[in-house]
Amino acid sequence: MEADERIQYAIENTEVVRPPEQSLATFGTTNIYYYLVTELLESANVVREGRVIAARPKIVTPSYLINLEGFGAQARRFIEMMAEKHPHEAGIFYSYRNEPKEMNIVSEPMKEVVDKLNQRIDSQHDPLSAIIKGVEELWDVSLLKFTYELTTSSVYSNVTELEKRGLLQIDSAGVPRDARNYIEELFEKTRLDPSRAPELVTELRRWGLFHEYQDRFLSLFKKR
């Protein structure tokens, strides 16, 4: 089976049995605990546990994305094309971190494993837990599908909240209000903790704003 076919197979055979009861937070970090169950043998299943940590959604534009690291050549060319046509069109950028915890092999049928996990979550009263049935050979693809569905189920409410606060508005420099607010937060954090300076510089450069804020940035380090 070709790689694309295997990935498609994993996507089609992944099921989110129990999604979290809450959407991704619009103005904070969301911490989802997951149980990913995959079939190893007919009478043995693997249960992987971990956390998917979703950072606070950021409002970005194609011009900003061009300056982000981690994109392949084709993806970067697509972003460049979008930037040429709609350089200041606002969108929401979600970033995640996976923190694996445990992996156990359980000699029980899949249904029994899922039932016990449901009971555990019910007893813990945790609205941010999820159960996923995936494919063992490509369990990470199953986890990515869960993450994708989590994003799509949250984006409408996130956009609605951001619009209500006017954070999607773009100024004359092509920068969303939310981004300006975040820069102000970074200035305050850097004032209190100078080690945050590289983070601030990176954000300013991604928006092409370092020249605008340069004097203010340098003033943080002047001797008093």
Distance CA 12, CA 141 (A): 11
Please give the helix or strand (H or E) that residue 131 lies within, else none: strand 129-134
Q: 30-41 and 44-54 as β-strands: parallel, antiparallel, unpaired?
A: antiparallel
Phi, psi angles (nearest 5°) of residue 8? -60, -40
Residue 122 pLDDT: 96
Q: What's the number of CA atoms in the CB half-sphere (13 Å) around residue 8?
A: 5
CA atoms within 13 A on the CB side of 186: 19
Output the average pLDDT for the chain.
90
Q: Is the pLDDT of residue 85 over 90?
A: no
Q: What was the pLDDT predicted at 87?
A: 82
Looking at residue 6, its pLDDT comes to 85
| CA 185/CA 162 separation, integer angstroms | 17
Determine the pLDDT at residue 75: 65
Q: Is the pLDDT of residue 5 over 80?
A: yes
24: left (phi over 0), alpha (psi -120 to 50) or beta: beta
What three-state secondary structure class fits 97? strand
Region label for 176, one of left (φ > 0), alpha (ψ between -120 and 50) or beta (otherwise)? beta
What does the pLDDT read at residue 90? Answer: 83
| C-beta separation of 200 from 217 below 8 A | yes
Lowest model confidence (mean pLDDT) among 15-29, 58-72, 167-181, 200-214: 58-72
| pLDDT reading at 154 higher than 80 | yes
- Per-domain residue ranges of the chain: 3-56+95-164, 177-219
What does the radius of gyration of the chain's CA atoms come to, in whole angstroms?
A: 21
Dmax over CA atoms of the chain, in Å, equals 71
